[in-house]
């Protein structure tokens, strides 16, 4: 069991401490606290960062010294659509960029509840178009995201399909939140073990994200027609309530003939590679992503 692993047990305790500390925080305080906490994790070695924008969307460009020219990762951070930013996730994106040997573009899309659905999807689409307009071919581009960012990454590709725009070379999803409801099997079977996410928490952020809009396949990609999407890698932990989101989405994709690599990491909690300083399994998971992305992008 995961609780018997000292590495994971320590992380479980840390998660409970964080949850207790943030229990009485406002959303603004939670955003500031999370950004500050995660920003203390150093970037990967030998990368440069540049702040820019795609129209009104703030962007951080992260370029490893080993980056292959013309190969790009567009990354969409998690945080329940209500927190998270370039600051909180740049360390993780920098490691993905190094592992892939590609240049990463990491965007600060608009957050709910101030900017509910579909504002974040609109921002992601602006970024995708801007990358293509810069001369990057779709075959040289990967779209990725974790948790709510995984929701946004999947929704972006569905939006591309609707807009009849070219798909990227691949889709990377880490612990994606792909269903606005909480009816999935893993809420019952895994919920008691998840140290980070609760059914009540998902209900709250889903309401904030949707605002006055009804649930639909762009908000809950598990109910979308995914035919025509590119090959995908999905990583998910066995100890998270969102496990069914990944298994259902992977099954739906596989049924249409999409090349799907579903990797369920035993004993791991939600988005564990993001917390690689605390969990030893984080860096091997990042290496796995890098190898898959390099193969999709034709990087030797």
Instruction: Considering the candidates 240, 244, 246, 276, report the single residue annotated as catalytic.
Output: 240
pLDDT at 2 over 50: no
Give the predicted TM-score (pTM) of the model: 0.96
Q: How far apart are the first and last CA of the chain?
A: 38
Catalytic residue among 85, 88, 147, 244: 147
C-alpha to C-alpha distance for 85 and 269, rounded to whole angstroms: 21
pLDDT digits (tens, 9 = 90+) for 146-205: 999 999 999 999 999 999 999 999 999 999 999 999 999 999 999 888 989 999 999 999
Tell me: the pLDDT tens digits for 90-137?
A: 999 999 999 999 999 999 999 999 999 999 999 999 999 999 999 999
For residues 94 and 41, give the distance between their C-alpha atoms in angstroms, rounded to a whole number: 11
CA-nearest of 14, 35, 36, 41 to 82 is: 35
User: Quick one: pLDDT at residue 273?
Assistant: 97
Prior bond of 77 cis (ω within 30°): no
Whether residue 240 lies in the annotated active site: yes
Domain 2-297 has CATH 3.40.50.300: no
* Residue 270 falls in the annotated catalytic set: yes
What residue spans define the domains of the chain? Answer: 2-297
Q: Which of 77, 89, 91, 270 is catalytic?
A: 270
């Amino acid at each position: 069991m995961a609780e018997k692993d000292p590495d994971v047990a320590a992380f479980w305790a840390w998660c409970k401490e964080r949850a207790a500390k943030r229990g009485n925080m406002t959303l603004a305080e939670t955003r500031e606290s999370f950004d500050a906490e995660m920003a203390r994790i150093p970037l990967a070695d030998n990368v440069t960062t540049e702040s820019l924008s795609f129209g009104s969307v703030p962007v951080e460009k992260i370029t490893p010294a080993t980056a292959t020219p013309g190969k790009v990762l567009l990354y969409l951070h998690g945080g329940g659509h209500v927190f998270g930013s370039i600051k909180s996730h740049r360390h993780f994106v920098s490691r993905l960029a190094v592992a892939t040997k590609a240049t990463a573009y990491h965007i600060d899309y608009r957050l709910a509840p101030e900017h509910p659905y579909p504002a974040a999807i609109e921002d992601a689409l602006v970024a995708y178009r801007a990358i293509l307009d810069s001369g990057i071919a779709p075959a040289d581009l990967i779209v990725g995201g974790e948790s709510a960012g995984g929701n946004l990454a999947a929704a972006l590709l569905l939006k591309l399909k609707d807009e009849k725009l070219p798909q990227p070379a691949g889709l990377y999803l880490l612990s994606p939140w792909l269903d606005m409801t909480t009816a999935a099997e893993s809420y019952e079977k895994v919920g008691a073990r998840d140290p980070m996410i609760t059914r009540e928490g998902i209900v709250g952020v889903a309401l904030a994200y949707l605002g006055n809009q009804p649930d639909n396949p762009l908000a809950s990609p598990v109910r979308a027609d995914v035919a025509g999407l590119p090959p995908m890698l999905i990583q998910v932990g066995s100890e998270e309530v969102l496990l069914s989101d990944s298994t259902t989405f992977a099954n739906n994709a596989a049924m249409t003939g999409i090349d799907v690599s579903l990797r369920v990491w035993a004993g791991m909690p939600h988005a564990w590679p993001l917390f690689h300083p605390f969990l030893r399994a984080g860096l091997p998971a990042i290496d796995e992503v890098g190898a898959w992305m390099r193969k999709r992008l034709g990087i030797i």
